[in-house]
């Protein structure tokens, strides 16, 4: 896994009047390493319906599909994996529930990262690397130096690292030398709106693979 880890955030898109599935289609056309559906404000029914719409699109493009927080919905929609946070179901419990699901885990400092690596998730996310407006109460910014240190720890453990938080095209090249993937939310939507999403996702994917 290397390159763009695209997060399709239903709340972010809904607040801007952007239709989720057409947006996701354009993102997936750039063949990112993975797509995660994050739908914090949506009900389980809507989330499963969206995931089921994205599943064949990801299959056709050879892109991994992750659900956010909910391994039960990930299984129902035949996702490749689930991403969990520090306050969500543990990696051990996710694997107990569904051993076939890949599991990613968010971390925000070195202590959390070391604890996460001991659990052997399929990847760890670390950040926010830069200031971000995608979360109402973001954790403290870690910066590029801490990201580089996290990358060394992950390389030693043989676990992929996903950088997250405030990543855009100008910052992507610096992230690419310090992480296997860069997770992007807001920067997937350019100023020109949905018509430019495919081009923007392709730019990010190329920069994060450099």
Q: What is the pTM of this model?
A: 0.96
172 membership: H or E segment, kind and range: helix 169-176
Residue 137 has pLDDT above 90, yes or no: no
Question: Is the bond preceding residue 128 a cis peptide, omega within 30 degrees?
Answer: yes
Average pLDDT over residues 170-189: 97
Residue 194 has pLDDT above 70, yes or no: yes
pLDDT value at residue 210: 77
Average pLDDT over residues 109-115: 98
pLDDT value at residue 135: 64
7 membership: H or E segment, kind and range: strand 3-9
Structural class in CATH, domain 3-208: alpha beta
Q: Is 136 exposed, middle or buried (0-12, 13-18, 19+ CB in 10 A)?
A: exposed
- Range with lowest mean pLDDT among 83-97, 137-151, 187-201: 137-151
Which residues, other chains included, contact 97 with Cβ-Cβ below 8 Å and sequence gap of 6+? 71, 72, 75, 89
- Pick the closest to residue 163 from 90, 106, 89 (CA basis): 106
Sign of the CA dihedral with 183 first, then 189, 194, and 197 last: negative
Q: Which residue has the tokens 């392709």?
A: 202
Domain boundaries of the chain, sorted by first residue: 3-208
Sign of the CA dihedral with 138 first, then 142, 144, and 150 last: negative
């Amino acid at each position: 896994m290397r390159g763009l880890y695209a997060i399709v955030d239903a709340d972010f898109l809904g607040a801007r009047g952007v239709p989720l599935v057409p947006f996701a289609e354009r993102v997936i056309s750039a063949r990112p390493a993975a797509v995660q559906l994050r739908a914090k404000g949506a009900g389980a029914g809507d989330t499963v319906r969206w995931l089921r719409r994205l599943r064949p699109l990801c299959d056709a493009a050879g892109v991994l599909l992750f659900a956010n927080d909910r391994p039960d919905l990930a299984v129902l929609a035949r996702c490749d994996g689930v991403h969990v946070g520090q306050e969500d179901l543990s990696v051990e419990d996710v694997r107990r529930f569904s051993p076939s699901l890949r599991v990613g885990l968010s971390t925000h400092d070195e202590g959390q990262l070391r604890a996460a690596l001991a659990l052997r998730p399929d990847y760890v996310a670390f950040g926010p690397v830069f200031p971000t407006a995608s979360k109402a109460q973001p954790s403290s910014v870690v910066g590029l130096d801490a990201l580089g240190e996290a990358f060394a720890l992950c390389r030693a453990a043989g676990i992929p690292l996903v950088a997250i938080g405030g990543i855009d095209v100008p910052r992507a090249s610096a992230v690419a030398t310090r992480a296997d993937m860069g997770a992007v939310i807001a920067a997937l939507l350019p100023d020109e709106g949905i018509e430019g999403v495919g081009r923007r996702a392709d730019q990010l994917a190329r920069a994060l693979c450099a």
